[in-house]
């Protein structure tokens, strides 16, 4: 905490509130962490997705492929480019985009593919990138739940044309409010996003395109630079909490535990199990003092906002079944062994009634 207060003091003293040296420093630190050439601080994870798609030229009449079981932001970013979200179902074990279903969803209008690294585990990127490459379509990683996660030794955000991260306070790396970042190895994409998030100014007072205000605050950058130094340790704690939950629930046949694909490092943004009668279990656990959550009860294609896509129930059976069964157990670095044991015991009791 003293380090965070000191960071806030420095920003206040230098009045570097919008953009400036603290943002630049965080960008350097975060690019190093993700092992990419560039990182750009933006206003939120939603901004990161939207600006990346705009910079890749996504616009009206285009289609962008993603999954139906993520957070609304991914589809919103597509819609705010004027494009249409096209969903492909998920793999039942990893809950990420099923590469076997991807190719059939590609059309001549497909302008980008956004796999979502859900709950802290990266999507199966190699086949996704191979299919995308064959069709000349860029891949944008939604890495907002996977800061520091790895796929075959590669960090989240370093495999696609762009990686999009949100840092709202609930994420593995959380700011003191709203913030986000785009990672990329491509200098051209970086330059385009930099112009877009600063009102379309490539040179001060000269607006070459119609942009937007989506810059990162200096205060958020200073806070994030301090917290980034502790992220590896925090992710390691989440990992060991995940292994303890796994052990404690290993002999409980009514619980489907998270599955970590070989060569993946899961950072357990969320530890989601699957159970039958999920809403009943949720209520009984709450009555015993354990508050679980659900990510996410209604898949995106079944939200009212997307009813115009006319994708009814049954369109994506795996995502829909998982959405009925997902139950997120408490997961944060500060959890103690006793708390985890209590949660696991409570879950088992709640399954029995």
Ligand X SMILES: *Cc1c(COP(=O)(O)O)cnc(C)c1O
CA 168 vs. chain centroid, Å, equals: 11
Q: How far is the CB of 305 from ligand X (least distance, A)?
A: 15
Whether 29 and 223 have beta carbons less than 8 Å apart is answered as no
Cα four-point dihedral sign 161, 169, 229, 71: negative
- The nearer residue to ligand X, 46 or 346, going by C-beta atoms, is 46
Helix/strand/coil for 144: coil
Q: How far is the CB of 246 from ligand X (least distance, A)?
A: 23
Q: How far is the CB of 54 from ligand X (least distance, A)?
A: 15
Whether 327 and 278 have beta carbons less than 8 Å apart is answered as yes
Residues that bind ligand X in the complex, under the rule CB under 6 A: 44-46, 70-71, 73-74, 116, 142, 144-145, 166, 168, 180
Cα within 13 Å of Cα(184), Cβ side = 26
Q: How far is the CB of 49 from ligand X (least distance, A)?
A: 6
Q: How far is the CB of 341 from ligand X (least distance, A)?
A: 28
- The nearer residue to ligand X, 182 or 344, going by C-beta atoms, is 182
- The nearer residue to ligand X, 142 or 150, going by C-beta atoms, is 142
Which residues, at least 6 apart from 289, have a Cβ–Cβ distance to it below 8 Å?
346
Helix/strand/coil for 163: strand
CB atoms within 10 A of CB 118: 27
Nearest of 228, 258, 200, 240 to residue 340 by alpha carbon: 240
- The nearer residue to ligand X, 124 or 346, going by C-beta atoms, is 124
- The nearer residue to ligand X, 45 or 99, going by C-beta atoms, is 45
């Amino acid at each position: 905490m003293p380090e965070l207060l000191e960071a806030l003091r420095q920003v206040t003293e230098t009045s570097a509130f919008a953009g400036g040296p603290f943002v630049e420093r965080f960008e350097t630190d975060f690019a190093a962490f993700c092992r990419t050439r560039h990182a750009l601080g933006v206003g939120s994870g939603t901004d990161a997705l939207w600006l990346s798609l705009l910079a890749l030229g996504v616009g009206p009449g285009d289609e962008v492929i993603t999954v139906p079981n993520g957070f609304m932001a991914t589809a919103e970013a597509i819609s705010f480019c004027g494009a249409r979200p096209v969903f492909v179902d998920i793999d039942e074990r990893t809950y990420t985009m099923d590469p076997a279903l991807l190719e059939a969803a590609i059309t001549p209008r497909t302008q980008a593919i956004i796999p979502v690294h859900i709950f802290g585990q990266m999507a199966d990127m190699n086949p996704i990138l191979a299919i995308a490459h064959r069709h000349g379509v860029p891949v944008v990683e939604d890495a907002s739940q996977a800061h520091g996660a790895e796929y075959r030794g590669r960090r989240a955000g370093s495999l696609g044309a762009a990686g999009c991260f949100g840092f709202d306070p609930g994420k593995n790396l959380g700011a003191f409010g709203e913030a986000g970042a785009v990672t990329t190895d491509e200098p051209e994409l970086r330059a385009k996003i930099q112009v877009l998030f600063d009102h379309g100014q490539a040179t001060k007072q000269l607006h070459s395109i119609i942009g937007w205000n989506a810059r990162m605050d200096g205060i958020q950058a200073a806070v994030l630079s301090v917290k980034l130094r502790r992220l590896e340790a925090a992710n390691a704690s989440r990992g060991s909490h995940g292994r303890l939950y796994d052990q404690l629930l290993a002999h409980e046949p009514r619980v489907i535990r998270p599955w970590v694909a070989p060569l993946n490092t899961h950072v357990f943004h969320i530890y989601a199990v699957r159970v039958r009668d999920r809403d009943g279990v949720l209520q009984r656990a709450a009555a015993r003092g354990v508050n679980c959550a659900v990510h996410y009860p209604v898949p995106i294609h079944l939200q009212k906002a997307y009813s115009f896509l006319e994708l009814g129930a049954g369109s994506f059976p795996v995502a829909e079944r998982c959405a009925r069964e997902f139950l997120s157990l408490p997961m944060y670095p500060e959890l103690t062994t006793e708390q985890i044991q209590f949660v696991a015991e409570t879950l088992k009791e709640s399954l029995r009634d």
